[in-house]
Amino acid sequence: MLTTYAVLGIETSCDETSASVVANDRKILSNVVLSQLNEHRLYGGVVPEIAARAHINHIDSIVTRAMIESGVKFADLAGIAATGGPGLIGGILVGSTLGKAIASAHCKPFIAVNHLEGHALTVRLTDAIDFPYLLLLVSGGHCQLLFVKGVGLYRRLGTTIDDAVGEAFDKTAKLLGLGYPGGPAVEYAAALGDCSNVKLPRPMLGKAGCDFSFSGLKTAVRRRVNQVKEILSSQMVADIAAAFQKAVSDTLVDRTKQAINLLEIEKINNQFLVMAGGVAANQTIRAAIADLAALRGLQFVAPSMNLCGDNGAMIAWAGVERLALGLIDGMSFRPRSRWPLDQYAALSSKTNKV
C-alpha cells in the first residue's frame, strides 16, 4: 500500500494569495484563497506593484491558516511547492522566496511549479484522468491549446497572437462599465441579454491552425459602445455582453475543433478534452466545449468551479506529481516572469506570450 504524503503549495503569480496542502491520494486537506478584489477594483484591473505588496501583507497568515486547517505539521510535509512563474514577478518572488525559506528551515525539497502546469494538471487531482489529453487553457494571461503527454511534457498546438481570453473579458467588462473582475460580471450580464441583437466578429474562425486572436473582438465591442451616443441602457449592456460571450465561445469551439482534427490527422491517441483556467468557470463556454467533446466522442473534463481560477491546491498537486518523479529544484531557482510550457513552441513562435 502507498504511504500518503502531503505537499504545501503556494500561489502568488497574479491577484490571488493562496496556500494549500494536498496529499498524494488526491485529498485537498486545505485550500485558502484570498482574492485581492478590493485592492484592484478602483483601477479596473490588476496593478502589479499593489499585487506584490498585498501578497507580502497576507502570505504569512494564509500559509499559517492552510497548515492549521490541514492538520499537517511543517516537519511532516513531503515538500514545499511554489509558483515559480510565469506571471507578475513581484508576487512570484514573494511566494517562491517564502517557499524556499520554509523548505530550507525544515530540510524539505523545494519544487518550483510552472503556473500553467498547475492549471494543466488540476484535472488529474480532481478526476484522476490518465495522460495524454487535449487541453484548452483559458485564463487571464493565456489562451492555449496544449497536448498534455505527461508531467513536463507539453506540445503547444495553438496560442493567442494578441490578447488572452480572460483579458478580453476583463477589457469588455471595463468598456461596458461592469467593473472588476470582468469575467464573472460579463457572464452575469450576458445571462440577461440577447446575443442576436448585436453583431460581433468571430476572429480566426475557419482559419488554418489552432491560434487565437481576441484584439479585433475587443475593438468591435469598443466601436459598438462608441456608436451609442447616450448612456448605455442596461439592456444594451446585457445584449453586448451576450454577443461578446457568444463570439468568444464560437471562436474557442472552432479553434478546439482544429486541434482535435490535427490530432486525428496525426493518428494520435486521445480520449479527453480538458478545459482549465479562470475562464473555464464560464458556464456558457463550458457547455459549448462539453458539447464539442460529445460530438467528437471525447470525454469532457474540467475542474470544479473553485479550482478553475488561481489557487494553491493546483500548485500543491503539481508539486505532488513532480515530487513523485524526483523533479525537485534547488535554492538557486530563479523566478521567471516568462516561462512557456512548451519550450520548443516558444522558440519557433514570434507571437508567444509566455
Can you give the binding site for Zn ion, defined by CB under 5 A?
139, 310
Q: What is the rounded CA–CA span in Å between residue 139 and residue 119?
A: 9
Cis ω on the peptide bond leading into residue 86 (within 30° of 0)? yes
Smallest distance, ligand KG4 to C-beta of residue 55, A: 14
Smallest distance, ligand KG4 to C-beta of residue 137, A: 9
Q: What is the rounded CA–CA span in Å between residue 259 and residue 257?
A: 5
Q: What angle, rounded to 10 degrees, do the helices at 182-190 and 283-295 form? A: 80
Q: Which is closer to ligand KG4, CB of 279 or CB of 301?
A: 279
Q: Which is closer to ligand KG4, CB of 72 or CB of 318?
A: 318
Q: Does 163 bind ligand KG4 (CB under 6 A)?
A: no
What 3-state class would DSSP assign to 272?
Answer: strand
Q: Does 281 bind ligand KG4 (CB under 6 A)?
A: yes
- 170 binds, options ligand KG4, Zn ion, none, Cβ within 5 to 8 A by partner type: ligand KG4
Q: Which is closer to ligand KG4, CB of 103 or CB of 280?
A: 280
Residue 178 labelled as part of a binding site: no
Whole-number Cα distances in Å, 321 to 10, 24, 78, 130: 15, 8, 12, 12
Q: What is the rounded CA–CA span in Å between residue 292 and residue 328?
A: 37
Residue 40 labelled as part of a binding site: no
Pick from 6, 25, 24: which is nearest to 76 by CA? Answer: 6
What 3-state class would DSSP assign to 138?
Answer: strand
Q: Which is closer to Zn ion, CB of 115 or CB of 224?
A: 115
Residue 57 labelled as part of a binding site: no
3-class SS string, 24-43: CCCCEEEEEEEECHHHHHCC
Q: Does 309 bind ligand KG4 (CB under 6 A)?
A: yes
User: Contacts with ligand KG4 in 9-38 (CB under 6 A)?
Assistant: 14
Q: What is the rounded CA–CA span in Å between residue 87 and residue 131?
A: 26
Task: List 2's β-bridge partners, or say none.
Answer: none
Q: Which is closer to ligand KG4, CB of 79 or CB of 166?
A: 166
- 281 binds, options ligand KG4, Zn ion, none, Cβ within 5 to 8 A by partner type: ligand KG4
Q: Which is closer to Zn ion, CB of 18 or CB of 270?
A: 18
When binding is defined by CB under 6 A, the residue of 44, 48, 184, 216 that contacts ligand KG4 is 184
Q: Does 181 bind ligand KG4 (CB under 6 A)?
A: yes
Q: Does 193 bind ligand KG4 (CB under 6 A)?
A: no
Residues that bind ligand KG4 (CB under 6 A): 14, 139-141, 166-167, 169-170, 181-184, 187, 277-279, 281-282, 309-310
